[in-house]
Every structure is written in C-alpha cells, then in structure tokens.
Homo-oligomer: A and B are copies of this chain.
Amino acid sequence: MKQIIILFVLFSVVNSYSQTKDYPFVPVTFNKVTLSDNFWKPKLQVNRDVTIPFCIAKCEETGRVKNFSIAAKLEPGAFCTNYAFDDSDVYKAIEAASYSLQLFPDKKLEHHLDSLIAIVAKAQEPDGYLYTARTIDPKGGTQLGRMGTERWVKEREHSHELYNAGHLYEAAVAHYLATGKRNLLDIAIKNANLIDQVFGPDKMHTIPGHQVIEIGLAKLYRITKDDRYLKLAKFFLDERGKFNYAGKLSTDGFQNGEYWQDHKPVIDQREAVGHAVRAGYMYAGMADVAALTGNQQYLTAIDSLWQSVASKKMYLTGGVGAAGDGERFGKNYELPNATAYAETCAAVAQVYWNHRMFLLHGEAKYIDVLEKILYNGFISGVALDGKSFFYSNAMEINNVEGSVEAERKRSGWFSCACCPPNIARLMASVPGYIYAQRDKEIFINLFISSKTQFEFDKQKISVTLNSNYPWDGKIVVSVDPSAKSKFTVSVRIPGWAMNHAMPTGLYSFAETNTESPSVSINGVNQKLEVRNGYVSFTREWKKGDKLELNLPMSARRVVANNQVMDDRGKVAVQRGPIVYCAEGKDNQGATSNLILPDQANLVYEFKTDFLNGLGVITSSAKAIKIESSQTDIETKSQALTLIPYFSWANRGEGEMEIWFPKRITGINIKSK
C-alpha cells in the first residue's frame, strides 16, 4: 500500500512540474545517488548515527520542540528558549534526517519525524501562521524586543518570522522527496499561502530580515508548480534596498541596512557585504529566481557578487565572513588569520550558492569553489565524534600573549544553534552534488565513489564512480548504457590540477605540478582538451566502458594575492583539494614559531591509524626557540608535520597555523 501511495505522489509531482524555465544544468538529486565513498560514506554514517540524533535530542532537551508543544497547547508554559528563530533548528534537523533516511532507511527515525511533524502541525495557527514565540504569547513576552507586539512588524530587522518559514519549506520539500509524505509539505504550503495573502506589491511590504525564505519558496514552487511562490520569492528580493534607513549615510551596517543586504536593490549589488550567512542564502535565492524567470539583471548581479566573494573575500579553506563583529564579510582582501570568523553556516550557504552558479552556467570553477568548501572549511565545522562543532572556523591559533582569542575548540551545542543542524543537513545531502546532466551530456563534478542512473532516449545509463579521492588521484568511471548509444560524458578537471589554487587568482600555487592530469578510455589515452573546466567525450558508449582520470597529487605550496596583508611572505600547503595545517601537538607544542623555507621538501604519507585515516605531509621547518633564560632565542631545524585542515582540533587545544612565513624579514618580540 505504501509503495502505491509513494508512486502516486511522485507521479503527481512530475505531472505538476511543468514550469518552462529552470536551471539549464540539472542536478542528479541526493535521492538518486547511492554512495560508497571511503571518505564521505563514513562521515554520512556518523552524521546518521550521531549528529542527526544529537541535533534532534538537543532540540528536545533545550525546549525547542517544547516551544511547538506549548504553542500547540499540548502543555502549558511560556516560550522556553533564547531566540524566536530557534524553531528553525527543528526544521533543519528534520531536513537533515530526511536526506539521511533516503540513504539509510530507518523506520524508527521516520516515525520520530512523523511525531515531531504532528506537533508542528498542531502549533500552526488556523490561518497557517507558524511561529511558536508569538502563538505562545502574541504580545511578545521574552521575545518582545525581537518580534514586537504584532505579526511581521519587526521582520525587517529582528523577528525572523520569514526565516523560520524558509527553513520549514526546505525541510518540507526534503521530507517529501525522501519519504513521499505530505504531512510536513502541507504545513509548509498552508504557511506559504498565508504569507502570499499578507505580502505582495499591493499588500504589505517588507524584507525578510534574515534571508532563506527565497530558496524555500523556489523549492515549493518546483514541487507544487504554484507560481505564487516564485512571485513571492522575487517580490521579497526586489523589495530590498527601498527602505529609507535613518542612518542611511552611516558607515554602520546595522544603521544603513548593509548588514542584511538592504542597502541597495539586489540587482544593483556588486560587492558582497554584511552578514555572510544572510548574503549566501540571498545570492542562492537570486540564482533560483534568475533560473526560474530568466531575469538577466539578477544574473549580472550574482555574477559580480560571485567575483567579489571568490576573488577578494574567501579564505583558502573556502571560509567566508572574515569579520566576527557582525559575522560579516570584511573589506576586499581583508582576510586576517588570527581573527578569522568564517562561520560554518556561511560555508554551507556558499555551497548552496556555488552549486546553483554551476547549474546556471555549467562552468567547473563554481564546483572548484564548492569542492574547496566541502573538503575544508565545511567539514572543519564538525569533529570526528560527530557531536562537537565549530561556530566560527579559526585560521590560526596563537598562544603568544596579547593574541586575539579565536574559537579554540568545538562545542557540543550553541545558544544560537544554527550551525550544528546546518552541518547535518548539508552533510546528508552531499550525494546530490556529484552529478548533473544537460540534455545528452553527463557531468561528473565530484570524485565521490557512488552510483547513479541517467536516462535519455528511453535508455538507462548506469554510471559508477570509484576512487580513493581525495587521497588518490585515480578516478575510474564505469559508463554502462543499457544499449550502445551516443552521448557525452564530461568530467571536471579540478582547477587545482591545472595549477589554479583558486579559479579567480586569489590564491595560486607557488610550484607547478610535475605531471599533468590524464584521461584514458578503456586503457587508451585521450587528448586532454579542457573547456569550462571539463574534458568531454562524445562517442558511442557501450556497456563496460571505463573512463580513467588520473590527477597529479603532489603536495604544493600556495601563495595568496599580495593584497592579502596577513598572508604576505607566507605559504600554505595544499594537496589535491585538501588544505593542510600544522597543530602544536605534532610540532613540539607550537606552530607560531615555525618557518617553512622554500627549500624544504613536502612528503606525503597516508596514515591508516591516525584520526580515522588521513594523508599527512611532513617537511623540515626552522623553529624559533626561546631559551630558558628568556633573553635568547635561536633557530633550530625541526620536522614539520601537517594534517588536513578539516581534521584540526580533534585532539584538544593548542596552536594551529595554515600560513607559514617562508623567511624572516623582521620580528616582534612579545614579553610579559
């Protein structure tokens, strides 16, 4: 019976999915990919076994679920957590669990979600309004300052009523796609219909103070075909930049709207500014609307914004939002290491946005950035244990007195808990970023071992990818059409394999590869012609065909654009997509004293027993030592051990460094 219902629902979705415009490049969604990867599958298993249950349990323990229960009048009480936007953590946890259910079916979890959704349903007001803080206390209570005494009145700045809604829609669509059930989707639709009744050109005007509803509405539109949702998404975007802030001319982003990207119409925005998570979600929403409407002004704006981020405002790890004060983008090239903020949620938002940029343009540079984030600045946000998290991601930990305090160790949960469930939901959906398709062209974007199926001309083409990436550069793709047929397979040649540490030149390799990437088909070497970052093979494919890609995996030094003050005269180390760092505990207790001379060789070794199995790089550094007198120092040669950046802070606190001086031109002496 259940099978039948699901089939019916899927049918109705396909039937209704008839809008004429969308992304020209179509992703193979998470629910159509089977994962077998040595690197990611264990992470997704930890995500299923630990992180997702942990997030759900925390939502329950901390009162986030109880807020729904109180709003539903299932129990008495006042709003019992810190922020009115805490509802969104429950939605994100459901979204994460939904993706995971697809990969790892789990009846118990599915039922648990249903029971949560039942409470959410009861917390929804009859007209569709869903925001537990106000349903519990319409006049504001402890959340008065944030939400005001009436619906929506503080949305522009503080209430997050539309933010909660956006996360609800994302969760509902994921849950529906994974399970075929409409219980959460119907709640979302009812809510979206209310919002459509309230807001619009001839209705109430506002902007979402924290963007995300734009993405959610685009997803609802694709599922339902109801173009009110698309119009609403565009309306919310087009409303930005119209409000006359009292402090319009102030340089304080909170007073002139810049903090929430309300300083200019979105189509006029060219530089990424303000809160980095809000910005990333907004740019992703703009990409959706651009794809779904063909709006050229949106495209022009996000193309410029992407240049702004990727050529001037991104750390080597893919982290963005350099400034902790306001969780903001810094100025151009303002990428300090010691005070780096690089919020985990901002990395998540960048993955969403870069994926959409690829879907618009079909260029591999967006996947280069996406891969950089996934393998470095995103997974650094969660420990190997799956239940401790970084909110911000330090680029340097320095024990020298007077140094700025960065987030030195991961925490179990946060009062403002946006990051853990954001990690859980992106981690669970990683299979959705591997493949894409356009007409009769198959795109292989990420080298994650997995299997999927494409269909065209009523043929089924099985594609199986096998690799030990990111540690090994050999990737084998088996292409198995049900019958011999002509189509194209395009394989991404990563920018790093072509000597671009960043597609925009913000970072470059100081050493070129000794080898070049190579591709063979069925053992026959192929000529390598890279276009838009892909090598494409259009031929008659037959069952059993094997494409083998070999990427050169030497460890190399990276240098930053000279305008990045904090990295001047310094080098970082990268191998494949992996950025390395040194931790004090592998380097005689310290890293702030290390110099990596140009002459020192970089030696790679995979260590099976180390931190669940990792590629480690060793070299020979010069270490500056302070003698016991504390009035003398000297330099000693010392082995240098580098580990992948994503694996730092799994063995307690200590110094950490990504960028190493390559020579000494001056010193500042610290004293106490």
The reply to whether A664 and B592 form a contact with Cβ atoms under 8 Å apart is no
Is A568 in contact with chain B by the CB < 8 A criterion? yes
Given A668-B400, A668-B668, CB of A663 within 8 Å of CB of B622: no
Chain B residues near A627 (CB-CB < 8 A): 635
The reply to whether B665 and A597 form a contact with Cβ atoms under 8 Å apart is no
Partner of A632, one of B569, B622, B671, B672: B622
Is A631 in contact with chain B by the CB < 8 A criterion? yes
Determine the distance from Cα of A399 to Cα of B622 in the docked complex, in whole angstroms: 24
The reply to whether B664 and A631 form a contact with Cβ atoms under 8 Å apart is yes
Scan A616-632; emit 1 where CB is below 8 A from any B CB, else 0. Answer: 00000010101101111
Determine the distance from Cα of A568 to Cα of B667 in the docked complex, in whole angstroms: 17
Determine the distance from Cα of A433 to Cα of B399 in the docked complex, in whole angstroms: 50
Is A530 in contact with chain B by the CB < 8 A criterion? no
The reply to whether A597 and B664 form a contact with Cβ atoms under 8 Å apart is no
The reply to whether A568 and B402 form a contact with Cβ atoms under 8 Å apart is yes
Chain B residues near A400 (CB-CB < 8 A): 665-668
Is A662 in contact with chain B by the CB < 8 A criterion? yes
Chain B residues near A666 (CB-CB < 8 A): 399-401, 592, 626, 670
The reply to whether A633 and B630 form a contact with Cβ atoms under 8 Å apart is no
Partner of A570, one of B570, B665, B671: B671
Given A568-B671, A671-B568, CB of A631 within 8 Å of CB of B622: yes
Is A593 in contact with chain B by the CB < 8 A criterion? yes
Scan A560-587; emit 1 where CB is below 8 A from any B CB, else 0. Answer: 0000010011100000000000000000
Taking CB atoms and an 8 Å cut-off, the chain A residues in 651-672 that contact chain B are 661-672
The reply to whether B631 and A595 form a contact with Cβ atoms under 8 Å apart is yes
The reply to whether A624 and B635 form a contact with Cβ atoms under 8 Å apart is no
Determine the distance from Cα of A218 to Cα of B632 in the docked complex, in whole angstroms: 58
Scan A444-460; emit 1 where CB is below 8 A from any B CB, else 0. Answer: 00000000000000000
CB distance from A591 to the nearest CB of B (A): 11
Determine the distance from Cα of A288 to Cα of B399 in the docked complex, in whole angstroms: 51
Query: Chain B residue with minimal CB distance to A672?
Result: B569
Scan A633-647; emit 1 where CB is below 8 A from any B CB, else 0. Answer: 111000000000000
Query: Chain B residue with minimal CB distance to A565?
Result: B402
Determine the distance from Cα of A595 to Cα of B671 in the docked complex, in whole angstroms: 9
Partner of A633, one of B570, B592, B664: B664
Given A624-B633, A632-B635, A635-B632, CB of A667 within 8 Å of CB of B669: yes
Given A595-B631, A633-B624, A635-B633, CB of A665 within 8 Å of CB of B672: yes
The reply to whether A597 and B631 form a contact with Cβ atoms under 8 Å apart is yes
Determine the distance from Cα of A662 to Cα of B401 in the docked complex, in whole angstroms: 15
Query: Chain B residue with minimal CB distance to A567?
Result: B671
Chain B residues near A622 (CB-CB < 8 A): 631-632
Determine the distance from Cα of A663 to Cα of B401 in the docked complex, in whole angstroms: 13
The reply to whether B668 and A664 form a contact with Cβ atoms under 8 Å apart is no
Determine the distance from Cα of A216 to Cα of B634 in the docked complex, in whole angstroms: 60
Determine the distance from Cα of A626 to Cα of B667 in the docked complex, in whole angstroms: 9
Most chain B CB within a 10 A radius of its CB, from A622, A629, A661, A669: A669
Determine the distance from Cα of A277 to Cα of B452 in the docked complex, in whole angstroms: 75
Chain B residues near A633 (CB-CB < 8 A): 624, 633-635, 664, 667
The reply to whether B595 and A669 form a contact with Cβ atoms under 8 Å apart is yes
Partner of A635, one of B595, B631, B665: B631
CB distance from A326 to the nearest CB of B (A): 15
Scan A131-147; emit 1 where CB is below 8 A from any B CB, else 0. Answer: 00000000000000000
Determine the distance from Cα of A556 to Cα of B346 in the docked complex, in whole angstroms: 54
Given A402-B565, A402-B568, A568-B402, CB of A631 within 8 Å of CB of B670: no
CB distance from A670 to the nearest CB of B (A): 4
Most chain B CB within a 10 A radius of its CB, from A399, A627, A630: A630
Partner of A634, one of B593, B635, B665: B635
The reply to whether A592 and B668 form a contact with Cβ atoms under 8 Å apart is yes
Chain B residues near A635 (CB-CB < 8 A): 627, 631-634
CB distance from A572 to the nearest CB of B (A): 13
CB distance from A567 to the nearest CB of B (A): 9
CB distance from A414 to the nearest CB of B (A): 28
Determine the distance from Cα of A671 to Cα of B667 in the docked complex, in whole angstroms: 9
Chain B residues near A632 (CB-CB < 8 A): 622, 635, 664
Determine the distance from Cα of A14 to Cα of B627 in the docked complex, in whole angstroms: 71
Determine the distance from Cα of A632 to Cα of B662 in the docked complex, in whole angstroms: 11
Chain B residues near A402 (CB-CB < 8 A): 565, 568
CB distance from A339 to the nearest CB of B (A): 14
Query: Chain B residue with minimal CB distance to A570?
Result: B671
Chain B residues near A626 (CB-CB < 8 A): 664-667
Determine the distance from Cα of A663 to Cα of B631 in the docked complex, in whole angstroms: 5
CB distance from A601 to the nearest CB of B (A): 15
Partner of A671, one of B401, B631, B664, B672: B664
Which 10 A-B residue pairings sit nearest by Cβ, starting from the closest? Answer: A569-B671, A661-B671, A400-B666, A630-B663, A666-B670, A569-B672, A632-B635, A668-B668, A597-B631, A661-B669
> Can you list 11 residue pairs at the A/B interface with Cβ under 8 Å?
A568-B671, A569-B670, A569-B672, A622-B631, A630-B663, A633-B633, A661-B669, A663-B671, A665-B672, A666-B670, A668-B668
Given contact pairs A622-B631, A633-B633, A633-B634, enumerate 13 new A-B contacts (beta carbons under 8 Å): A400-B665, A568-B672, A570-B671, A592-B667, A595-B671, A624-B667, A626-B667, A630-B663, A630-B664, A630-B665, A633-B664, A664-B671, A668-B670
